[in-house]
Amino acid sequence: MTRRRFIALASVVCIAPVARLARGQSQGMRRIGFLEAGSASANRHFLEAFKSGLRERGYEEGRNVIIDVRWAEGRAERFPELLAELERARPDVLVVASSLGAVAARKTVPTTPVVFVGVSDPIGLGLVASLARPGGNMTGLSRVFGEGLLGKALQFLRAIVPGATRIAILYNPDGVVEQRVVEAEQAIRALGLTPIRVEVADQKSVDAAFAAMRGKRAEALIVVTDPLTLRHRDAIVKAAAASRLPAVYEFAEFARAGGLVAYSASVPALFERAAIYVDKILKGTSAAELPVEQPTKFELVINLRTAKALGLSVPQPLLLSADEVIQ
């Protein structure tokens, strides 16, 4: 072997392990895009629940994973712009919260794996072919609030206000919520009560919506959650209090903000489980093969302080069954 050839081979032997190490480090640092429908000030605990789920599976931010976070601040029209920002960073997987966020991802993210969180009707929205076999680049966790859950939520509300017979349904007509509004109407009628649809389009229309409820003699209220109603939850809760209208919400944060009662799937638990999907995708499983999961953990939150302010008495058995009672 000539001296020149020996030096060349020795150089390759020395450089190859370094090159392999560099590639290994690049592959070891994974990138996750995270898009939440609400604001950081109100919903950061959802992000923390997701990060907790990742840590349980060996992912440490800055060590082997980068998490790019965007907050839509309750503005559904921002979803395409924020998704485009996240896509430019070339993520390995995207986590997208809310039905509207997932619909925007279906239109703007054709190939990157997407794990959605809190989608009420993934098949009806065209996100997946079936719950068992999604078939595309999207899968995740649904957040059903269908007729069965609504019926139970209404029973909780009626236990506190047994005489209420006219129940308003407050919803955003531009949100992807029509099916849930129909389910709310069915649940109300199943109890022999009268449903009253009331639309809200922005914060300016909140007062008008509650004036319409009073004009239609509503005696209680269901609020259907979407990014808009979530964004304006403080205004909605305050208007309900000013109208002395007992309300049930499908999002625990409304009760924590002063609403009377909330019953729904535990949203932090959904974000924790989203980490399981992300882990499987990062390890090579296709989103098309990961079944959509229905929620298994639900929470009942009662704001006793609000009940007292409304002059309402909460039955002791209901208080004992609550997951959280706000004094």
Specify whether 161 is located in the same domain as 118: no
Same domain, residue pair 121 and 180: no
Same domain? For 284 and 320 the reply is no
User: Taking 80 as the threshold, does the pLDDT of residue 4 lie above it?
Assistant: no
Residues in the chain: 327
218 part of a folded domain: yes
Judgement on whether residues 15 and 124 belong to the same structural domain of the protein:
yes
Identify whether 1 is part of a domain: no
Question: What pLDDT shows up at residue 70?
Answer: 98
pLDDT tens digits for 226-240?
888 988 999 999 999
Domain-embedded: residue 181: yes
Judgement on whether residues 261 and 271 belong to the same structural domain of the protein: no
pLDDT score, position 188: 93
**14 and 63 assigned to the same domain:** yes
Report how many domains make up the chain: 2
Tell me what the mean pLDDT of segment 31-52 comes to. Answer: 94
Looking at per-residue pLDDT, the higher value among 145 and 78 belongs to: 78
pLDDT value of position 144: 64
Q: Are residues 255 and 274 in the same domain?
A: no
Q: Based on the domain organization, do 77 and 159 belong to the same domain?
A: no
99 residue type, one letter: S
- pTM for the structure as a whole: 0.82
Q: Does residue 3 lie within any of the structural domains? A: no
44 in a structural domain: yes
Asked if residue 190 is part of any domain, the answer here is yes
111, 208: one domain = no
d(CA 177, CA 249): 14
Is the separation of the CB atoms in 225 and 74 below 8 Å? no
Measured over the CA atoms of residue 203, residue 122, residue 58 and residue 69, the dihedral's sign is negative
Question: Are 66 and 120 members of one domain?
Answer: yes
In a domain, 2, yes or no: no
Residues 96 and 199 in one domain: no
pLDDT in tens, 209-221: 999 999 999 999 9
Q: What is the mean pLDDT of the chain?
A: 89
Q: Collect all residues with Cβ–Cβ distance below 8 Å to 259 and sequence separation of at least 6.
A: 223, 233, 237, 240, 247, 249, 303, 306
Residue 71 CA: distances (Å) to CA of 44, 113, 226, 255, 264: 10, 19, 14, 22, 22
- In this structure, the answer to whether residues 117 and 159 fall within a common structural domain is no
C-alpha 181: how far from its chain's center? Answer: 18
- The residue range of the domain holding 125 is 8-144+267-295
pLDDT of residue 296: 85
pLDDT confidence band for 205 (50 / 70 / 90): very high
Residue with the larger pLDDT of the pair 180 and 314 = 314
